Structure 1
């Protein structure tokens, strides 16, 4: 059995140590507090039940002005090892979004948008195009399940 010398840096914490740790915690909570929705974001990201998932990366994000009026949309491009895709996200004005997407290489695949309000599913057509309407604004994650594979392709969780 080994004993710890109370005078060594590895000794037990005393009241001064605990006070210093409380002040360090207060400092970080004051200067850089944890976002209020961090736990929800972590739970949301971990919920994806597939352990074999290819996570694509965002390669481009642009704001696009509408043709008529001041309607704006966001064009987001994702790139992965086996699948690339692009989505055009347009706010509907009622707290929901219309999502138009294109997969490359084009094929028919199940497409899912995970939100904090639930899952919205559709299927891309033979040209790789898909549409989801009335997707709630907020945290989202796109999940494509290519028909020729057992693993899914997923985006990082993001706020739309």
Structure 2
């Protein structure tokens, strides 16, 4: 028996004993199509409130962003501090022992989330920004996974 005949018989044996599931191709296509769906969802739920809506008196250079992955929800309020710097105040629900990492082109700063879910960054330069949540510990009722926002402009 030649190698080609042997491989053909082995292929037929496995086809008979363990055939490919009928929905395998469709399942793979769905899995590939939903890859990165969480990032797309975050981008769709991102809110950018116009400065004119920030207050009744005076002008305000404030923006509000909301990011969620269905489990975690992050709300950011970004205020201008002048000279191209911003202050970022954030709230995370559900609150959990996490570290927030703010990254820009070549800079990175971190902050801890309080037990109430609050965090802040001061004197952040304007520019493309992304936040990363990193789990410090898994607490009762808290988040058990990290989270990354879409890139946004400060």
**Matching of residues 113-124 of structure 1 within 5 Å:** 113-124=102-113
CA RMSD, aligned part only? 2.2
- Map of 1:95 onto structure 2: 84
Question: 1:32-84 CA deviation, whole Å, 9 max, x = no partner?
Answer: xxxxxxxxxxxxxxxxxxxxxx6460412212424663222001111113311
Would you say the 8 A contact 1:109–1:123 is kept in 2?
Answer: yes
Q: Highest Rg: 1 or 2?
A: 2
Instruction: Report whether the alignment pairs 1:144 with 2:129.
Output: no
Greater helix fraction, Structure 1 or Structure 2? 2
Task: Report the equivalent of 2:95.
Answer: 106
Relative to the length of structure 2, the TM-score reads 0.61
Confirm or deny that 1:158 pairs with 2:143: no
Deviation of 1:96 (Å): 0.9
CA change 1:136–1:150 in 2 (3 A) is same
Cα distance in structure 1, aligned partners of 2:93 and 2:105 = 27
| SS of equivalent to 2:120 | strand
Q: Provide the C-alpha distance between the structure 2 equivalents of 1:69 and 1:62, rounded to a whole number of angstroms.
A: 16
Aligned length: 107
* TM-aligned CA deviation for residue 150 of structure 1: 7.8
Partner of 1:62: 49
Which residues of structure 1 form unaligned runs of 5+?
1-53
The yes-or-no answer on 1:85 pairing with 2:79 is no
Distance 2:68 2:144 in 1: 19
